[in-house]
Amino acid sequence: MNTERRTEVAALAGVAVRTGRLDLVPLAVAHADEMAGVLADPALHAFIGGAPLTAPELRARYERLVAGSPDPAVVWCNWAVRLRAEDRLTGTVQATVTDGGRTAEVAWVIGTAWQGRGIAREAAEGLVGLLLERGVRTVVAHVHPDHTASAAVARAAGLAPTDEVQDGEVRWELRP
């Protein structure tokens, strides 16, 4: 990725996104304490494995994410999802941008207490919209075949399932 395009793509990580009910705010280490509570339910790991991180573990993870990818061809963009009506964080969305800024792999997680309210859908739509505005040509997500809620989010964001399966997850794509 040339230096100018990398700078442009890296700037995505600092862009706030406002949707009807949400603010996607650039992830900060300071979010770790609140997010540790949001993400504390072990059920969130049913499809992705692992266990909830403690506040110090999440703080260390956010420090790595905020520092950015060590690979100059990869840009990490991470946002905390703030529900304005409750003035609280409810989850995160992320995009890993590669291929000279033309491809982004996206993911989302919303705390159990806020699921079923369309927050993941709205956040994913906002994220994908931002990526497309900024020149991303292919948006990819990987969804466990039994995770119907996450599949619905991917579909609402404009992605469609492919026949490709990686690590037990279906590859979803949007190619505008």
Query: How high is the mean pLDDT in each 10-residue block of the chain (176 residues)?
Result: 69 91 98 98 92 97 96 95 98 96 97 97 98 96 97 98 96 92
Helix H or strand E encompassing 157 = none
Rounded to two decimals, what is the model's pTM? Answer: 0.94
pLDDT digits (tens, 9 = 90+) for 140-168: 999 999 999 999 999 999 999 999 999 99
Phi, psi for 106 (deg, rounded to 5): -115, 155
Q: Which of 24, 10, 22 is nearest to 101 (CA)?
A: 10
User: pLDDT (tens digit, 9 = 90+) per residue, 84-94?
Assistant: 999 999 999 99
Whether the CB-CB separation of 40 and 150 falls below 8 Å is answered with: no
